[in-house]
Amino acid sequence: MDFKTAATLGTYLSKDYAEDFFALLVTYRDISASEAASRLGLHIRTAQDFLEAMASLDIISKHEVTEGKRPYFRYTLEVETITMEIDLSHLRISEPAEGLERRIRERLNAGAHFPTARGDSTISRVVIWTGEGRERREHTIKLSPAQGRFLYHLPFPTAKPLSIAEIMAKAGIEATYAPEVLDIVNVLENYKVVEAL
């Protein structure tokens, strides 16, 4: 299940009426949105949204019927168990070794502040200001220990750029921390605090 699907499911499962709604779907062979709404004391649009969301996730099925001249949908529960499983492995940076050869340094006049942790060779956070005048905003990014050590050794704007791998070696950071180091480098590149050369 992807995050978008999980978010939709989670949103509707968190509703106060979700358990009662599923009790109806388990009990009835099929049910319409208006029947469910009147039974649960909900607005018909709320019931319809819930049923359509569950149909889009294949938890229930719907079929059109006609009563008089007006067609409408009836909904049937198709599963007895709902399992939410999200594969997180695809979020991992697939080939961190490739990104480690990029040569970087702090950008000149980046408008960022790198406070150091007390009594340590580590940056504790990065404070970035964006916008102009009344629209100026401050963003604070808290760093992991590995990210803090890495940024402490980031070359200054006038210094010779180093590869990410070289900076990691200088900071004594193990290769297993490469994904989180690359993540903060990418974030700071987006904020134009770090430049790749």
Domain interval for residue 106: 92-196
Domain boundary among 77, 101, 129: 77
pLDDT digits (tens, 9 = 90+) for 73-122: 999 999 999 998 888 877 766 556 668 899 999 999 888 999 998 777 89
Cα 87 from chain centre: 13
Distance between CA atoms of residues 142 and 192, nearest Å: 17
The answer to whether residue 85 is domain-embedded is no
**Within the chain, which residues score under 70 in pLDDT?**
92-98
Q: What are the beta bridge partners of residue 128?
A: 112, 139
Rounded Cα–Cα distance for residues 61 and 57 (Å): 9
The verdict on 96 and 191 lying in the same domain is: yes
Gap between the Cα atoms of 176 and 116, Å rounded: 23
Task: Please state the domain count of the chain.
Answer: 2
Identify whether residues 138 and 50 lie together within a single domain. Answer: no
What is the rounded end-to-end Cα distance, in angstroms, of the chain? 39
Does residue 61 sit in the same domain as residue 102? no
Q: How many residues does the chain have?
A: 197
Contacts of 68 (CB under 8 A, 6+ apart): none
Q: Is the pTM of this model over 0.95?
A: no
